A and B are shown apart, each in its own frame.
Chain A
Amino acid sequence: MRLEYFELLDRIEEMDLEGGTIRIASTLPETSPVFDGHFPSFPILPGVLMLEVMNQSAGYLLYRRFKRERFVFLGGVKRAKFRRMVKPGAKLDVRAKITHDGSGFFVAETSLKVDGETAADAEIILIVQDFPTPEAKTALAERTDYIEAASSVTA
């Protein structure tokens, strides 16, 4: 994981494109400027980054479902709860399930577990559109190639 670069997904553990489910494994770094500020002498993962890793998991599932041809981004958060603090070095078990397939948007139930305990869960809306530029499409594909390379699961 490269936390400061928002590259939060390490490896796909399970993925079912048609069924609309994905399970991601990621490990937090032990040190990061993010932890330096949040909080000094008591580093924990910010809730917004728990939300982001859940969002990226659901988003990656849709990105792959659309064969990397469409741009997927967070459109809204219907509900989010942050139940436990997550410390540096933690191994994250992130799951997402598409619960509604709308026209140009999807709704997903997502969760983040550490050591089998739910640390956060959220229901989010993801929007799917054409890429703003061909360059953006290419750049995102290049930046996410590492996920495929690290995973034993391929679509």
Chain B
Amino acid sequence: MSSTFDIVAKVITETSDVPMQNIKPDAHAIDDLGIDSLDFLDIVFALDKKFGIKIPLEAWTQEVNQGKASVEDYFVLKNLCARIDELVAAKSAP
């Protein structure tokens, strides 16, 4: 069974043409992989559908802008995957 990271990496490479070998858990989606904000929307759309969740991108962006979170908390891939796992778990919780 694919891990969350495997699924996220596949979505990134398919939607943004980033080579798979560049997609690593410590990679920053924007600074390292060169993904711009509109490409990131495409990725979020694909991830929303794949995992059956609604990634709260607007809230995350607001938290970063207000200094309540760092960009790395959401846009470094291993952290993005952890957030996705939390959202999936929350969806499944009774």
Contact = CB atoms under 8 A, between A and B. Distances in A.
B38 A102 contact: no
Interface string A66-101: 000000000110100000000000000000000011
Interface of B is mostly: helix
Most B Cβ at <10 Å: residue of A101, A102, A105: A102
Contacts of A102: 41, 44-45, 48, 54-55, 57
A100 B42 CA distance: 12
A76 B42 contact: yes
Which of A78, A104, A107 gathers most chain B CB within 10 Å? A104
Interface of B: 38, 41-42, 44-45, 48-49, 54-59, 61
Nearest to B49: A100
B18 to A, nearest CB: 17
Interface of A: 75-76, 78, 100-105, 107, 125, 127
A29 to B, nearest CB: 33
Contacts of A78: 42
A105 B45 contact: yes
A114 B56 CA distance: 39
